[in-house]
Structure 1
Amino acid sequence: MFTGIITGLGRVAAITPIGAGQDMRLTIATPPGWLDQGGHPDLGASICCSGCCLTAIAYGTDRFDVEASAETLSKTTLGGWAVGDALNLERSLRLGDEMGGHIVSGHVDGVGQVESLTPENGSVRWRFRLPDGLARFVAIKGSVAVNGVSLTVNEADRTGFGVNIIPHTIGATTFGGLRAGDPVNIEIDMLARYVARLGEFTS
């Protein structure tokens, strides 16, 4: 589990096709000392990489390796990652940690798209288009994770939603490099997912 509060910016350092080229192994470079913050994670630890919960299978100096299956590559933005791409990083939540965002699982519900960026007073209004079927899970003043970043929804309709992002968040995440048309990993609020599922049995 995660909170959607990004603690470091990493980069894709290497990509190695595996599984007859259908899967891939990635080496993720981290900021110096990032892996040792709060104690070095064990092998098999979960690390959220731009919204995707991935399992660390090896460590080096300021880097770690993960593997992604064909399913993950097809259902997230991972299939389009290239060496040098920047990633939002967050280590898994521990009991007693500050809960600064909202509960994020790192299980991507779909790939959305940056629709527009509009300066608005001291922040920027970002508009995201959602894949079919996800809009009903996003509510005004609710939470959503975009590329692993916890955001508060300010507008929502049948095709997408809008949020205001302050300069600090833009500078501390990969949002500074995103442009209209770019794909993003979307994770809806976990509570919305379960409420909708319960509704299927009570309606």
Structure 2
Amino acid sequence: MFTGIIEDLGTIKNLTAEGENLHITVETSITSELKIDQSVAHNGVCLTVVSINDDNYVVTAIKETLDKTNLGKLITGDLVNIERAMKLGDRLDGHIVQGHVDQTAECTAVIEEDGSWIYTFTYDTSLSNITIEKGSITVNGVSLTVVNSKINEFSVAIIPYTYEHTTFKNLKVGDTVNLEFDVIGKYVKRLNDLRN
């Protein structure tokens, strides 16, 4: 379980394919605090630490993960948003995030305003995911509030702190992002679908 509050940026140091799996080597400032078998979110994708070597650690993404997320598009040198699992009893500063990406979306607009940025994303509605105005959404692991919700599109407003401390500073039109829709909204939608 995560909160969507990014702890650190990780740098992709190496990518090694093995069959349909991808071993991802990441360097972070918190590597020394990690342990093998620990869950860590990478751009919102929960992956298990399988080895640690100095400032680097390795996680493995299987085909299912690569098919449903943007991790298969990573290249050496890319930055990823990093968050360790929350501790029971901590404040929930973001929202309930499972680290299970529902689908990807494309960034279709970036508008710089006076002191903030508005990012717009479009996504495939065939998977039955929805956003609501002022609801929660996780974009590349970052807990955000939806603005301007439409059928297959939504926007988020990014404050300077979030811009500087996440991968939003590198995000541009045409980039693919991971989306995790609000877990409570998903259950409500599912129950409603079952009634109809």
Q: TM class, shorter-chain normalised?
A: over 0.9
Identify the residue that residue 31 of structure 2 maps to in structure 1: 35
| Other structure's SS at 2:100 match | coil
Match of 2:77 among 84, 93, 101: 84
Distance in 1, Cα, partners of 2:16 & 2:115: 42
**2-side partners of 1:80 and 1:167: how far apart?**
26
Deviations 1:90-143 (A, max 9, x none): 000111222110011111111101110112332111111112235752100000
**6 and 106 in structure 1: CA distance in 2 versus 1, 3 angstrom threshold:** same
Q: What is the SS of the residue equivalent to 1:199?
A: helix
In structure 1, distance between residues paired with 2:36 and 2:121: 35
Q: Structure 1 unaligned runs (5+)?
A: none
Give the conservation status (yes or no) of the 8 Å contact 2:2–2:99: yes
The farther-off stretch of 149-158 and 112-121 is 112-121
Q: Percent identity?
A: 40
RMSD of aligned alpha carbons: 1.3
Q: Aligned residue for 2:89? A: 96
State the TM-score, normalizing by the size of structure 1: 0.92
Unaligned runs of 5+ in 2: none
Report the number of matched residues.
196
Runs (4+) off by over 4 Å: none
- Residue 68 of structure 2 is matched in structure 1 by 75
Q: Read off the aligned partner of 1:6 and give its amino acid letter.
A: I
Q: Which residue of 1 aligns with 2:17?
A: 17
| Matched residue, 1:175 | 168
- For 1:114 and 1:202, the matched residues in 2 are separated by 34
Q: Which residue of 2 aligns with 1:132?
A: 125
Q: Which residue of 2 aligns with 1:195?
A: 188
Give distance in 2, aligned partners of 1:136 and 1:120: 29
Are residues 1:108 and 2:104 paired?
no
Whether the 8 Å CA contact 2:8–2:81 is kept in 1: the answer is: yes
